[in-house]
């Protein structure tokens, strides 16, 4: 191999390695989110998350921003949000939202709309879509990652 071809080959090998590494889900700082152990269904329906997006914009975006990155209220996406709610029942998140939000009128959002907002928040945090909508029957499910130290 010529002296000129070696750096190109090395870069190509490094690129292939990095791509394989990321695809395997072992890059630091990336969460691989999963449903409960033993279930392959996701967390919410696509339609529910879409309705949640609209409802979020009406009730929540003023304080949490349309991108969910926080303003007057905390960020609802990313490491800070996930570290607070992972390994807890989904019902804990819902109850917090329902009893404390919106800050100017806590508890005023009807349950169905709050479940939709929760579905949208889960979607924006990378939780997988499924065939069953979030509801009170989902409350016992634990928000979990399949690889706690891995990344997405």
Residue boundaries of the structural domains of the chain: 31-145
CATH of 31-145, picked from 3.40.630.30, 3.10.580.10, 3.30.450.40, 1.10.760.10, is 1.10.760.10
What does the DSSP assignment read for 128-145?
PB-SS---GGGTTPBPEE
The contacts of residue 32 (CB under 8 Å, 6+ apart) are 25, 145, 146, 147, 150, 151, 152
Render pLDDT for 106-120 as a digit per residue (tens, 0 to 9). Answer: 999 999 999 999 999
Render pLDDT for 5-61 as a digit per residue (tens, 0 to 9). Answer: 555 544 444 443 333 333 333 333 334 444 343 345 899 999 999 999 999 999 999
Whole-prediction pTM value? 0.71
């Amino acid at each position: 191999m010529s002296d000129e071809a070696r750096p190109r080959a090395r870069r190509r090998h490094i690129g292939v390695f990095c791509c394989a590494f990321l695809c395997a889900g072992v890059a630091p700082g990336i969460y691989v989110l999963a449903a409960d152990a033993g279930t392959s269904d996701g967390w919410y329906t696509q339609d529910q998350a879409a309705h949640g997006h609209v409802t979020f914009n009406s009730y929540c975006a003023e304080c949490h921003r349309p991108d969910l990155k926080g303003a007057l209220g905390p960020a609802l996406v990313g490491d800070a949000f996930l570290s607070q709610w992972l390994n807890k029942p989904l019902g804990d998140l819902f109850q917090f939202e329902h009893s404390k939000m919106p800050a100017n009128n806590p508890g005023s959002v009807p349950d169905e709309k709050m479940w939709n907002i929760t579905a949208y928040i889960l979607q924006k945090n990378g939780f997988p879509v499924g065939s069953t909508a979030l509801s009170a029957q989902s409350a016992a499910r634990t928000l979990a990652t399949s690889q706690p130290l891995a990344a997405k």
